[in-house]
Structure 1
């Protein structure tokens, strides 16, 4: 699989946390590109991706090899080196990167102590430059926050020239389990969605992780306030949640068919984007006879009024079009 990707591998000089953030126009990037181990290193393997480069990098780094030594060993032994891209940061903050000469343009990388930023099939070098500048400008932030900001900067500068589909963030602290591991596996705006999920996780998940059992304290130290918060329903916690909004189709581009389960007769919620001008509407068209409770619809942007009565609702910061009078099942 060729992953036309932009990513960052990095280390925090204050906490020694290690992490990777990555986005691409292929589903599920978080499952095959980032490799991180606490006290060992952070690696992103991409382009004509070979996950074993990440696996082997972790082994070499854990044996005491530096980022540069690890990179040289991996590249020298890889017959597909011309189409590979790697970014490595070791536990001491040394960094190294490789961009094969047959990676799809624009392709390149930039390294400095504690960081490696790399990308291929990008709109141009400005993506990597913007990411590097964002990392440099956020030196006082926690590593996980810096990584999200770097992805946002890369996307704002153009990102993957084919479009957008998935994104991931993974950071390890001292424990063998991740401090944070978030994935947006398929979405029309994955970096934006990663930011939304991350903001919820900061308020609901990270306080829980910080009180979880550790090797030194197997009982953990979960505060009463965190326990009380987690006993509430997701929507009633700080940051809210979309998990209790039923039957919402998220992340499907306009024009694609989608299965939407009616909330009730004549009332359907469909995810939508609002792009500035208020004269952009969503129109529905019935495509086929529904099976059971499922209706099949197509959605597209039209510069005219929607043919059915509707209203725009905002739920936890996400905008939806609510159809009030469209007959379901006819």
Structure 2
């Protein structure tokens, strides 16, 4: 039903998640990130509260593994949950309960961790992680490359309908927050198109927020 890739860039300090699902609007429920703390994907039979709770525990000094254990114990029903997490140091943790759907797999990698359920096969997550590890470019580029490799390796066992890409850096808000909430086909491809359109504008939006006097032209009527 869902697979995700959680990653960290040691050079920039950015943290990011790319995710897709057969369900609608996966980006509204599953990816959770906090600058300077970590990133968490909570999926399978999703409890969104787990994301903020894991981040809160990591912010208080717990390791990702300790943070996952604490949040899962607090909420119960852990047998239905699947999570993947990374902290600002690049330490990872993952969990798949006994009731995780279908063929499922989790795999830590170098500064990343992949997780999925109802997969076409375990090789999907292996392709996800290995491609991230060997790809270049920005963190967002590497996350999407991993997702596209996972799709090419078979992806989910059924159709996928939504996808999301979220990246945080030094600012208190996400520098990238792109979503395909519903597509009849290839939401990961559509997400990649969104990133290609947003990438050359990303820095402009940051400048506009931090120093409007230096903002480039908005290109709208009345703008001078």
The higher radius of gyration belongs to 1
Q: For the Cα contact (< 8 Å) 2:109–2:130, is it kept in 1?
A: no
Counterpart CA distance in 2 for 1:136 and 1:221 is 39
TM-score, with length taken from structure 2: 0.93
Counterpart CA distance in 1 for 2:212 and 2:40 is 29
Deviation at 1:110, TM superposition (A): 0.4
Stretches of structure 1 that go unaligned for 5 or more consecutive residues are: 234-330
Stretches of structure 2 that go unaligned for 5 or more consecutive residues are: none
Counterpart pick for 1:211 among 203, 207, 211 = 207
Deviation at 1:75, TM superposition (A): 2.7
Counterpart pick for 1:148 among 144, 149, 154 = 144
Counterpart CA distance in 2 for 1:128 and 1:113 is 14
Aligned length: 220
Residues 94-144 of structure 1, C-alpha deviations (whole Å, 9 max, x = no match): 000001121112111001342110000111101101101111111x32101
Deviation at 1:221, TM superposition (A): 7.0
Residues 204-263 of structure 1, C-alpha deviations (whole Å, 9 max, x = no match): x3131341344xxxx25745xxx24x3169xxxxxxxxxxxxxxxxxxxxxxxxxxxxxx
Give the corresponding residue for 1:231: 219
Of 27-36 and 146-155, the range deviating more from structure 2: 146-155
Counterpart CA distance in 2 for 1:207 and 1:173 is 12
Give the corresponding residue for 2:102: 105
Higher relative contact order (CA 8 A, sep 6+): 2
Residues 263-310 of structure 1, C-alpha deviations (whole Å, 9 max, x = no match): xxxxxxxxxxxxxxxxxxxxxxxxxxxxxxxxxxxxxxxxxxxxxxxx
* Higher percent of residues as helix: 2
Residues 34-70 of structure 1, C-alpha deviations (whole Å, 9 max, x = no match): 0001001000000000001002112111112111110
Corresponding position: 1:124 with 2:121: yes
Give the corresponding residue for 1:29: 26
Aligned Cα root-mean-square deviation (Å)? 1.6
Counterpart pick for 2:36 among 27, 35, 39 = 39
Counterpart pick for 2:13 among 16, 28, 33 = 16
Counterpart CA distance in 2 for 1:90 and 1:113 is 13
Residues 156-201 of structure 1, C-alpha deviations (whole Å, 9 max, x = no match): 1111111110000000010111111000000121001101111110
Counterpart CA distance in 2 for 1:221 and 1:7 is 39
Q: For the Cα contact (< 8 Å) 2:109–2:133, is it kept in 1?
A: no
Structure 1 residue ranges, 4+ long, deviating more than 3 angstroms after superposition: 220-223
Counterpart CA distance in 2 for 1:207 and 1:11 is 20
> CA 1:11–1:220 in 2, change beyond 3 Å: closer, same or farther?
farther
